Structure 1
């Protein structure tokens, strides 16, 4: 089993999300606004009901690379000589992830945040890394299929977890609605994946 090592930088970036359950129980929320980058201004989202917060930005900046990199592995599986049910499911899920990434990038733009992967090079739970993609390219048959199932399951579970937290304790209604949709989708995607394992 692959060991995940989290470096200090992503730990700091993810702190708002990690604190969400405790903040929710105490009746508080992570509401400190993230300042806009120099030379930019973060326009408020139309009808958001609340400004974007540090919790929203932490979730968006995590979910964008998570969905994007998982999508690369799914696209690989859809074109691989995988078992037909897995290849078909991977193709459909890759398409869903492309849609998610487009929606997340829209939020990044509205918040005035850079369209860059702040977690590049970090081996984190649920994140398909460049090393994972390289390993997948060297696998064949059942070993490849098993690796895809393992990595995508970890991705779906972790992204569901952080999205559910954002939907409960985020600041922007727009971000919270998207997080809730993603969390619900992950539940269905995990059910389908479990059926493929049988």
Structure 2
């Protein structure tokens, strides 16, 4: 599945634009925050850390979007690490998969500290930059150069959009731990895009 590639660098979203995005998510039934519980939850065990729930809607929406984005990208990168046609492309996919798995190791505890569930609240919605189940099915069915083109196009889309949303968290978020992680993700995405553009055959595959 080839998506039209954006031209030029993506600008940082202003806080108002991010709130509009969150409103669109809510309008499609994709909640940015968990539904309120019908009754107060029992107190945590004495040995368990108490979640810090002082997250703004922007913090919560970013963490709840970035987690499934990474999970789906890891699935695609796992395919590419095995099926891409060139050693440099397979090596790139392997390293990027490890990096995004490490990010998940920070995103999931962040969700817990916010008191948010570690579930995909965007399941069933075609979010920008999200590798969908349909995308994964197409990747599994593709072979050779067709697989490379599909992989590179989807990965570039993922890197660009996740960088864009993470820049918005840096600008509009409130939690220090979320903003620091978002800034690290922006740096990683920019490095990934630079490396992707320099891969042998990438320019030809991406048109």
TM-score, length basis structure 2: 0.76
Matched, 1:169 2:177: no
CA contact (8 A) 2:129 2:157 kept: yes
Instruction: Please list every run of at least 4 consecutive aligned residues from structure 1 whose deviation after the TM superposition is greater than 2 angstroms.
Output: 34-45
**Counterpart residue number, 2:112:** 109
Partner of 2:124, secondary structure, is: coil
Q: Aligned Cα RMSD in Å?
A: 2.5
**Counterpart residue number, 1:27:** none
Aligned counterparts, 1:88-167, within 5 A:
88-167=91-170
**What are the superposed Cα offsets for residues 117-170 of structure 1, whole Å, 9 maximum, x if unpaired?**
000011121000001000101100000001000000000000000001101110
Task: Find the partner of 2:81 among 78, 83, 92.
Answer: 78
Gaps of at least 5 residues in structure 2 are 5-11, 19-32, 44-49
Partner of 2:131, secondary structure, is: coil
**Counterpart residue number, 1:178:** 181
Q: Distance in 1 between matches of 2:126 and 2:178?
A: 25
* Number of equivalent positions: 171
**What are the superposed Cα offsets for residues 38-75 of structure 1, whole Å, 9 maximum, x if unpaired?**
24487328xxxxx3211100000000000110110001
CA contact (8 A) 2:59 2:174 kept: yes
Q: Distance in 2 between matches of 1:22 and 1:80?
A: 38
CA contact (8 A) 1:126 1:157 kept: yes
Q: Distance in 2 between matches of 1:88 and 1:115?
A: 29
Task: Find the partner of 1:43 among 35, 47, 51.
Answer: 51
**Counterpart residue number, 1:7:** none
Q: Distance in 1 between matches of 2:13 and 2:84?
A: 39
Q: Distance in 2 between matches of 1:35 and 1:67?
A: 20
Q: Distance in 1 between matches of 2:102 and 2:170?
A: 19
CA contact (8 A) 1:126 1:154 kept: yes
